[in-house]
Amino acid sequence: MESSKVIHAIYTDDDVLMSAVKKVKAAKHHIEEIYTPFPVHGLDKAMGLAPTRIAITAFMYGCVGLTVAIVMMNYIMIEDWPQNIGGKPSFSYIENMPAFVPIMFELTVFFAAHLMVITFYLRSRMWPFKKAENPDPRTTDDHFLMEIPVHGNENELETLLAETGAVEINIVDKEAH
Amino acid sequence: MYTFSNRLKIVSLILVIVGAGLWMTSYMSSHVTVEEVKTMLAEESSHGGGHGEATSHAATTTDAHGDTSHDVAADDHGDEHAEHVKHQIHNRPYAALYVAAFFFFMIALGVLAFYGIQYASQAGWSPVLFRVMEAITYYVLPGGLLVLAVAMFAGDHIFVWMNPEMTDPTSDKFDALVAGKSGWLNKTGFFIRGLIFLAGWSFYRYISRKFSLAQDTAEDNRNFKKSFRWAAGFLVFYIYTESMMSWDWIMSVDPHWFSTLFGWYVFASMFVSGITVIALITLYLKSKGLMEFVNDSHMHDLAKFMFAISIFWTYLWFSQFMLIWYADIPEEVTYFVTRIEDYKLPFFGMLALNFIFPFLVLMNSDYKRIPWFIVMAGIAILVGHYIDVYNMIMPATVGDRWGFGMAEFGAIFFFLGLFMLVVFHALSKAPLLAKGNPFIKESEHFHY
């Protein structure tokens, strides 16, 4: 991908940013990305982002965890080295099942939580030794940055963004990644 | 303002009358004699029914030997068994009435605890639901008195320890364990404690409702602040008395058995049933266009509570079950052996209704906003928790002579009708929005 021109509008308040997003969307401009120092409630909806599907992955990971727990306990405690559980040497999975419920619960939660976090990182394109994509370090402190691609309409965008209360408007060449 | 429509009133009254009729019929027909029971048992064993093994065994030995001494012994045993079964058949209408009485009372008490928590935590999302909660808690006093009345009426038909012979060392029914507990488990103590619990709960209910109504027209927040303090005090009183109530009113039907987390377990049951009823009544009023100020997010939060407390209930159910199952101590494990052998369907069916069904139906965030999903899960939860109470009372009173017939449905209809009469009457007495509550604006704009 060749380098493209984008406009960076910087805000200092999340409420101002929210109303700016609504105005920009109303003027039918595409917002490429917004960088904020903290999660802004309702920003995803205002930007028109598709709802997250992380909950579905969490459910599937939970099912994997539950299955792993069932199969694992069956192998360890019943098949490979049959155990006398609680003085009831039945060596039957179903009769010893209550003893395995805490493990089923723990592994369900463990798989769902860890794999969900890993999925989230990968989906956000974050992995070890990854160079930060953040265009302006101030967005990790107290500034909010809205990135809009430019297609020869710099002036129009600049006036619009100035109206929305941006404290700084820069046009930059963005390198492809 | 909500007006209690005549149609709903008539429906409730019909429920009360039909329920009372059904129950009375079953009560009248439960007065069987030992002779009738013997014929019944003989028929059952000749049909190869699961029950009456002892009698069939006795019958075959007498037939085979014809020896007089054996004959007498077998007859004695048969008599004893028939006598036992006769008592179980007699107990059933009482137990059915008690289960239904307690179930509807527990809904109201669960809502009272939920209401108290909203005040004590100064919750901002829930004040739009306060009038519904206040209406449901109106049933605490009449419902609680009815539970005590049924307990008094039933006596040792439900609570074996109420039989004075059990603590009398000269009687052949003397039971050393029950006698040892008679310092706590005695009739006088039972009813005095019951009245103290009810007095405390209804007092909080009365005072909180008074402040809530006064706050509607007040200039300042003094009523709210007082209500806050009373709520904090009530919750402390509640958690002790609720626990003791569950020992007295439920756990004592099996006077030899005890579980240390029983109070919590019953609490989870009443809490989730109460929250479910808040959701159902709110949805009903919303469908009538009377609670437009309740939005999707409020329903979402109620459904979250239904989901969460269902899991909490399962956690406590399992904690109680697993420790007893693991340790396998005879005097403890007999509780679950009875239930798994004689009550397999209600015992495991309740787990499906109270855990698996709400867990899967209410897991998705979007489904928690869809009214018919909430109603569906809510009905499963209420049926499940009725069966939960059923499983706690029935095995100790009727043994394997259980069923769902006129006695059970009659009692459910009767108390459901009564509950509806009381709750909807209370709903019609005040505006549906507690407009003076300092959090009411926040609550109306609550958005998740």
User: Tens digit of pLDDT for each residue in B293-317?
Assistant: 999 999 999 999 999 999 999 999 9
To the nearest whole angstrom, how far is the Cα of B244 from the nearest Cα of chain A?
29
Chain B environment of A99 (Cβ under 8 Å) = 322, 326
- Residue A88's pLDDT is what? 87
Which residue segments constitute the domains of chain A, with CATH numbers given? 4-37+142-174 (3.30.70.260), 54-123 (no CATH)
Residue entry with tokens 């009564």: B418
Burial of B386 (0-12, 13-18, 19+ CB in 10 A): buried
Q: Which long-range contacts (CB under 8 A, 24 or more apart) does B337-346 make?
A: B338/B395, B338/B399, B339/B391, B339/B395, B342/B395, B342/B399, B342/B400, B342/B402, B343/B391, B343/B394, B343/B395, B343/B402, B346/B387, B346/B390, B346/B391, B346/B402
CA pair distance B151, B198, nearest whole angstrom: 14
CA pair distance B190, B188, nearest whole angstrom: 5
Which of B297, B317, B320, B325 is the mutation pick for testing A, counting most A CBs within 10 A?
B325
Chain A environment of B328 (Cβ under 8 Å) = 86-88
Whether B395 and B343 have beta carbons less than 8 Å apart is answered as yes
CA pair distance B199, B212, nearest whole angstrom: 20
Q: Is the pLDDT of residue B43 over 90?
A: no
Strand, coil or helix: B4: coil
For B163-179, what is each residue's pLDDT tens digit? 999 888 998 889 999 99
CB contact under 8 A, A99 and B364: no
pLDDT band with cut points at 50, 70 and 90 for residue B66: very low
Residue B186: phi and psi, rounded to 5, are: -135, 155
pLDDT band with cut points at 50, 70 and 90 for residue A130: confident
To the nearest whole angstrom, how far is the Cα of B448 from the nearest Cα of chain A?
10
Q: Is the pLDDT of residue B442 over 80?
A: yes
Residues contacting residue B138 through CB under 8 Å, at least 6 positions apart: B108, B205, B422, B423, B425, B426
Residue entry with tokens 């756990």: B251
CB contact under 8 A, A98 and B321: yes
Q: Is the pLDDT of residue B244 over 60?
A: yes
CB contact under 8 A, A86 and B328: yes
Whether B135 and B209 have beta carbons less than 8 Å apart is answered as no
Whether B368 and B307 have beta carbons less than 8 Å apart is answered as yes
Chain B environment of A98 (Cβ under 8 Å) = 318, 321-322, 325-326
CA pair distance B226, B222, nearest whole angstrom: 6
To the nearest whole angstrom, how far is the Cα of B444 from the nearest Cα of chain A?
18
pLDDT band with cut points at 50, 70 and 90 for residue A3: low
Residues contacting residue B272 through CB under 8 Å, at least 6 positions apart: B110, B305, B306, B309, B310, B312, B313, B354, B381, B385
Q: Is the pLDDT of residue B229 over 50?
A: yes
In chain A, the percentage of residues whose pLDDT exceeds 90 is 55
pLDDT band with cut points at 50, 70 and 90 for residue B63: very low
Chain B environment of A59 (Cβ under 8 Å) = 363
To the nearest whole angstrom, how far is the Cα of B194 from the nearest Cα of chain A?
36
Has the ipTM of the complex gone over 0.90? no
Please tell me the least confidently modeled range out of A134-143, B63-72, B280-289: B63-72
- Residue A151's pLDDT is what? 84
CB contact under 8 A, B322 and A86: no
CA pair distance B265, B277, nearest whole angstrom: 19
User: Concatenated DSSP letters for B102-134?
Assistant: HHHHHHHHHHHHHHHHHHHTT-SS-GGGHHHHH
Mean pLDDT of chain B: 90
Q: What interhelical angle do B68-120 and B371-398 show, nearest 10? A: 140
B171: left (phi over 0), alpha (psi -120 to 50) or beta: beta
To the nearest whole angstrom, how far is the Cα of B118 from the nearest Cα of chain A?
25
CA pair distance A115, B323, nearest whole angstrom: 31
User: Concatenated DSSP letters for B317-347?
Assistant: HHHHHHHHHHH--HHHHHHHHHHHHH-HHHH
For A8-57, what is each residue's pLDDT tens digit? 999 999 999 999 999 999 988 889 899 999 999 889 888 988 888 999 99
CA pair distance B364, B361, nearest whole angstrom: 7
Chain B environment of A101 (Cβ under 8 Å) = 318, 322
Chain B environment of A55 (Cβ under 8 Å) = 364-365
Burial of B330 (0-12, 13-18, 19+ CB in 10 A): exposed
Chain B environment of A87 (Cβ under 8 Å) = 328
Q: Is the pLDDT of residue B78 over 90?
A: no
- Residue B60's pLDDT is what? 40
- Residue B418's pLDDT is what? 97
With residue B58 as reference, give the H or E element that holds it. helix B53-65
User: How many other C-beta atoms are found inside a 10 Å radius of the C-beta of residue B235?
Assistant: 16
How much of chain B is helix, strand and coil, in % rounded to 5? Answer: 80, 0, 20
**B330 CB near a chain A CB, below 8 Å?**
no
Chain A environment of B364 (Cβ under 8 Å) = 55
| Residues in chain A whose Cβ is within 8 Å of chain B | 55, 59, 86-88, 98-99, 101-102
Residues contacting residue B141 through CB under 8 Å, at least 6 positions apart: B198, B201, B202, B205
For A38, B129, B194, B274, B432, the CA distances from B114, given in Å and listed in that order, are 33, 11, 21, 8, 18
Residue entry with tokens 């939920």: B114
Mean pLDDT, range B92-116, rounded to an integer = 96
CA pair distance B303, B297, nearest whole angstrom: 10
**B329 CB near a chain A CB, below 8 Å?**
no
Q: Is the pLDDT of residue A124 over 60?
A: yes
Q: How many residues does chain B have?
A: 448
pLDDT band with cut points at 50, 70 and 90 for residue B52: very low
Residue entry with tokens 């020896």: B67
- Residue B74's pLDDT is what? 52
Mean pLDDT, range B413-436, rounded to an integer = 95
Q: Is the pLDDT of residue B358 over 50?
A: yes
CB contact under 8 A, B325 and A55: no
CB contact under 8 A, A98 and B326: yes
**Of the candidates B4, B51, B70, B99, which has an alpha carbon nearest to the alpha carbon of residue B396?**
B99
Residue entry with tokens 């909203």: B118
Please tell me the least confidently modeled range out of B73-77, B80-84, B245-249, B329-333: B73-77
> DSSP secondary-structure letter at B353?
I
- pTM > 0.90: yes or no: no
User: How many other C-beta atoms are found inside a 10 Å radius of the C-beta of residue B124?
Assistant: 16
Q: Is the pLDDT of residue A168 over 70?
A: yes
- Residue B107's pLDDT is what? 97
Residues paired with residue B40 on neighbouring β-strands, in sequence order: none
To the nearest whole angstrom, how far is the Cα of B422 from the nearest Cα of chain A?
42
Q: How many CB pairs under 8 A join A and B?
A: 19
